[in-house]
A and B are shown apart, each in its own frame.
Chain A
Amino acid sequence: MGVVTPVGNSVPAFWEALCVGRSGLAPITRFDASPYRNDLAGEIKGIEPGDVPRASAYALFALREAVRDANLADFAGSGIVLGSNFGGMDAALGFFRGTGSRDSLSGSNLADPVDRAIREYGFVGPSCCVSLSCASGAASVGMAYDTIALGLADIMIAGGFDELSELSYAGLSALRAITPDIIRPFDKNRKGTIFSEGAGVVVLESIESARQRGAKIHAEVLGHFVNNDAYHMTAPDKTGQGIREVMERAIRDAGVSPESVDYVNSHGTGTEYNDRIETSAIKQVLGRRAHEIPVDSIKSMIGHMMGAAGTVEIIATVKTIQTGIVPPTVNLETPDPECDLNYVPGKAQTFPVKIALSNSYGIGGCNAAVVLGGLDR
């Protein structure tokens, strides 16, 4: 596993920050945010992209950590699927400003880091980019899982990436998705989300291949699903039917029961509707179990990493499965009667987790859910 996040550019640094509830959100330095709803965001520090579009540089940085962690040296037969909401938006902005070269739009192409990774590592298997808005990072893990499940590759790289750019920030601000306050998932006074950037990458491998190779196996992907609310381009479906169905289908795909789910890493954006609708849907899917288990939002610390969010949250979920530590939802100070689950407010909790669900949703009604399990379940 590998990450580039506002709280650290390695999995150990990222995890340590989550466990102590440290926020990586700070005033934006990259552009003048004064016209917009908030100047807070989760910027990446310590990575110099050089000539590479920043979004791609983040993806490649996380990929290198994941490859080291998996102790991979032979990439023959491996493929790669990365997910992104926007790709290299600053390259696009340069093109539209007329400050980039005539072909500078290529840096914004969603497949740019996939192509760069192929050049760097020589992956010869299936390669693709998934774009499902802010569910992209989770959907990429699902697609890579499918590729292995069908025997088309033994090893697949999967991940998500995105960069903060004024172009996308202006749109997200215009949509009023950004809070004028701080991000407070599930709090009664929540007013919206805070966006951030970065990447998360995982190496998926068939259990058989990983064991033969003597690889360290962190956890198992048990199943997934992606769907669409089929409701509205921006407004959430207040019935939560789409997100309920995506969870149900992912749990069914995993071959486990709703009662066996021990933890939900929620989408938890901190918007008024998302948190209420997601809570209701979790309760409908998991029944009484929803009240017995932790449901947190790490976006409260790292912000909403857009296309990277799904993979980064899957990586946090894997760490929870491994350690039994559930990171907190920070800034949750005033309970909302309509959000009545254990959101792990303020401080990390310990809870034995064998099976976990990670939720990701995006603009346009895109939904993804991934079910993960520990090896000793």
Chain B
Amino acid sequence: MKPVGIIACAPVSPIGVGQEEFAGALLADHRGIAWSDRFNHEVGEVRGFDLSQYLSTVKTYIDRTSALALAAMSLLPTRKVALSLGTQWGCMESLETFAGKVLSGNPKFAPPLVFTHSYANAPNSLIAIEFGSREFNICLSCGSTSGLVALIYAAQQLELGRCELIAAGGVDSLSRPIFEQESGRTVPLGEGAVLALLGTEAAEVELLDSYTGSPGAGFLDVVGQLDKSTLFIYSSTGLQEVDDMVQRELGSRIALDLTPRMGFTLGASGMMGVSAAVALLRQRKAKTIGVVSADERRMAAVLLGM
């Protein structure tokens, strides 16, 4: 693939909002995991999050997943652009609310507004509406690799000439259904959104190479520019089979595991790694950094460099 410039990065994370705050917290080794009365457990929440701090328009209803994605988008320098967004679970908070109304005994009056906000593509649609972009727009879902796969597909759209700028990233939020469903993980869960603005022009940090596919395909061979010294950022999933597989592939080359710092942020986890890589590259901590994301069936990896 042709190098793609990462023009800006906008994380909304348990350790900070915006690339500067995120990078500062990362380099200072701040932790974003804390006890949550809502979940009666330690989680990585974006605490004190209030969408009205990021948008001038008033929302009568908004799912937390959409709100996190909208906030991340609002932090990018250019917002009327194409979009490729990945999410593992979409807007489950709204689906649960809507299901509650359907199951309440009077389904005829279930609220259509909440229903439309429960769609997985609701964050995509709300971003397009908010910032007025009729450009290329896609929502992807492939487990915890969703965000990184969305970034890779965005870079492909640049290569295919379908856009000149594209926002790409991942988002997931914590809600009761997700917390229950994902309770088998041995790590704290986290939430957040990261959007990166990609373009074809040269930038300080570039996306040099990428891989998506089966972990069994030997992805290290596929990411052509890697050499033995390239270090990786990973977010351990808390699923032994997956983490063991990544450990087998990368071993001591995993230089940074984000999960102990912010919890496992599901479909946003790979993009949290991209934000971290951008922070470390800008600090000249390395010349190239790999970011890897994996679940039971697939692996995604990108190589970023100065």
Instruction: Judge: A and B partners, yes or no.
Output: yes
Q: Which residues of A contact B296 (CB under 8 A)?
A: 115
- 11 A–B contacts from the bound complex (CB under 8 Å): A102-B183, A118-B214, A125-B217, A128-B153, A131-B140, A175-B112, A175-B116, A228-B137, A230-B129, A233-B126, A234-B112
Q: Chain A, 206-243, contact with B by CB distance < 8 Å: what is the 0/1 string?
A: 00000000000000000001111111111000000110
Contact of B181 with A by CB under 8 A: yes
Q: How far is the CA of A93 from the CA of B100 in the complex (A)?
A: 9
Q: Chain B, 193-217, contact with A by CB distance < 8 Å: what is the 0/1 string?
A: 0000000000000000000111011
| Interface, chain A (partner B; CB < 8 A) | 35-36, 79, 85, 92-93, 95-97, 102-103, 105-106, 109-111, 114-115, 118-119, 123-133, 139, 143, 146-147, 149-150, 166-167, 170-176, 225-234, 241-242, 245, 249, 253, 362-366
Instruction: Tell me the chain B residues, 232-277 only, with Cβ under 8 Å from chain A.
Output: none
Interface size class of B (residues with CB under 8 A): 35 or more
What's the minimum C-beta distance from B288 to chain A, rounded to whole angstroms?
Answer: 21
Asked whether, in the complex, the Cβ of A131 is within 8 Å of the Cβ of B134, the reply is no
Q: Which residue from A103, A127, A364 sits with its C-beta under 8 Å from B124?
A: A364
Asked whether, in the complex, the Cβ of B103 is within 8 Å of the Cβ of A96, the reply is yes
In the complex, what residue of chain A is closest to B159 when comparing beta carbons? Answer: A150
Q: Which residues of A contact B107 (CB under 8 A)?
A: 35-36, 166, 170
User: Known contacts A115-B296, A150-B156, A230-B134: does B142 contact A128 (CB below 8 Å)?
Assistant: yes
Contact of B168 with A by CB under 8 A: no
Contact of B120 with A by CB under 8 A: yes
User: Known contacts A171-B115, A233-B129: does B143 contact A95 (CB below 8 Å)?
Assistant: no
Asked whether, in the complex, the Cβ of A363 is within 8 Å of the Cβ of B181, the reply is no
Q: How far is the CA of A96 from the CA of B131 in the complex (A)?
A: 34
Contact of B138 with A by CB under 8 A: yes
What's the minimum C-beta distance from B114 to chain A, rounded to whole angstroms?
Answer: 8
Specify the main secondary structure of chain A where it touches its partner.
mixed
Q: How far is the CA of A127 from the CA of B140 in the complex (A)?
A: 10
Contact of B117 with A by CB under 8 A: yes
Q: How far is the CA of A233 from the CA of B118 in the complex (A)?
A: 11
Asked whether, in the complex, the Cβ of A85 is within 8 Å of the Cβ of B162, the reply is no
Q: Which residues of A contact B89 (CB under 8 A)?
A: 109
Asked whether, in the complex, the Cβ of B99 is within 8 Å of the Cβ of A167, the reply is yes
Asked whether, in the complex, the Cβ of A227 is within 8 Å of the Cβ of B136, the reply is yes
Asked whether, in the complex, the Cβ of B99 is within 8 Å of the Cβ of A111, the reply is no
User: Known contacts A150-B159, A226-B136, A241-B134: does B98 contact A233 (CB below 8 Å)?
Assistant: no
In the complex, what residue of chain A is closest to B160 when comparing beta carbons? Answer: A146
Asked whether, in the complex, the Cβ of B214 is within 8 Å of the Cβ of A229, the reply is no
Contact of B65 with A by CB under 8 A: no
Contact of B42 with A by CB under 8 A: no
Q: How far is the CA of A131 from the CA of B142 in the complex (A)?
A: 10
Contact of B121 with A by CB under 8 A: yes
User: Known contacts A96-B96, A102-B183: does B122 contact A127 (CB below 8 Å)?
Assistant: no
Q: Which residues of B contact A128 (CB under 8 A)?
A: 140-142, 149, 153, 212
Q: Which residues of A contact B100 (CB under 8 A)?
A: 96
Contact of B302 with A by CB under 8 A: no
Asked whether, in the complex, the Cβ of B112 is within 8 Å of the Cβ of A131, the reply is no
Asked whether, in the complex, the Cβ of B139 is within 8 Å of the Cβ of A130, the reply is yes
What's the minimum C-beta distance from A221 to chain B, rounded to whole angstroms?
Answer: 13
Q: Which residues of B contact A245 (CB under 8 A)?
A: 134
Asked whether, in the complex, the Cβ of B119 is within 8 Å of the Cβ of A364, the reply is yes
Q: Which residues of B contact A106 (CB under 8 A)?
A: 181
Counting chain B CB atoms within 10 Å of each CB, the highest count among A132, A146, A226, A228 belongs to A228
Q: Which residues of B contact A174 (CB under 8 A)?
A: 108-112, 115
Asked whether, in the complex, the Cβ of A129 is within 8 Å of the Cβ of B140, the reply is yes
Q: Which residues of A contact B133 (CB under 8 A)?
A: 228, 230
Q: Which residue from A114, A131, A175, A229 sits with its C-beta under 8 Å from B115?
A: A175
Asked whether, in the complex, the Cβ of B116 is within 8 Å of the Cβ of A150, the reply is no
In the complex, what residue of chain A is closest to B133 when comparing beta carbons? Answer: A230
Q: Which residue from B109, B121, B184 sits with its C-beta under 8 Å from A132?
A: B121
Q: Which residues of B contact A253 (CB under 8 A)?
A: 162
Asked whether, in the complex, the Cβ of B180 is within 8 Å of the Cβ of A225, the reply is no
In the complex, what residue of chain A is closest to B125 when comparing beta carbons? Answer: A364
Q: Which residues of A contact B121 (CB under 8 A)?
A: 131-133, 362, 364, 366
Q: Can you add 13 more A-B contacts, CB < 8 Å, to A36-B108, A170-B107, A366-B125?
A: A36-B107, A115-B296, A124-B213, A125-B213, A125-B217, A131-B120, A131-B121, A143-B153, A170-B102, A230-B133, A233-B116, A364-B119, A365-B125
In the complex, what residue of chain A is closest to B98 when comparing beta carbons? Answer: A171
Q: Which residues of B contact A123 (CB under 8 A)?
A: 214
In the complex, what residue of chain A is closest to B135 when comparing beta carbons? Answer: A227
In the complex, what residue of chain B is closest to A175 when comparing beta carbons? Answer: B112
In the complex, what residue of chain B is closest to A147 when comparing beta carbons? Answer: B156
Q: Which residues of A contact B139 (CB under 8 A)?
A: 130-132
Q: Which residue from A124, A139, A249 sits with its C-beta under 8 Å from B138?
A: A139
Q: Which residues of A contact B103 (CB under 8 A)?
A: 93, 96-97
Q: How far is the CA of A105 from the CA of B176 in the complex (A)?
A: 12
4 smallest A-B Cβ distances: which pairs? Answer: A364-B125, A171-B115, A228-B128, A124-B214
Asked whether, in the complex, the Cβ of B140 is within 8 Å of the Cβ of A130, the reply is yes
Q: How far is the CA of A286 from the CA of B221 in the complex (A)?
A: 47
Q: How far is the CA of A146 from the CA of B149 in the complex (A)?
A: 14
Q: Which residues of B contact A364 (CB under 8 A)?
A: 116, 119, 121-122, 124-125
What's the minimum C-beta distance from A332 to chain B, rounded to whole angstroms?
Answer: 28
Contact of B31 with A by CB under 8 A: no
User: Known contacts A130-B138, A139-B138: does B129 contact A231 (CB below 8 Å)?
Assistant: yes
Asked whether, in the complex, the Cβ of B134 is within 8 Å of the Cβ of A233, the reply is no
What's the minimum C-beta distance from A31 to chain B, rounded to whole angstroms?
Answer: 10
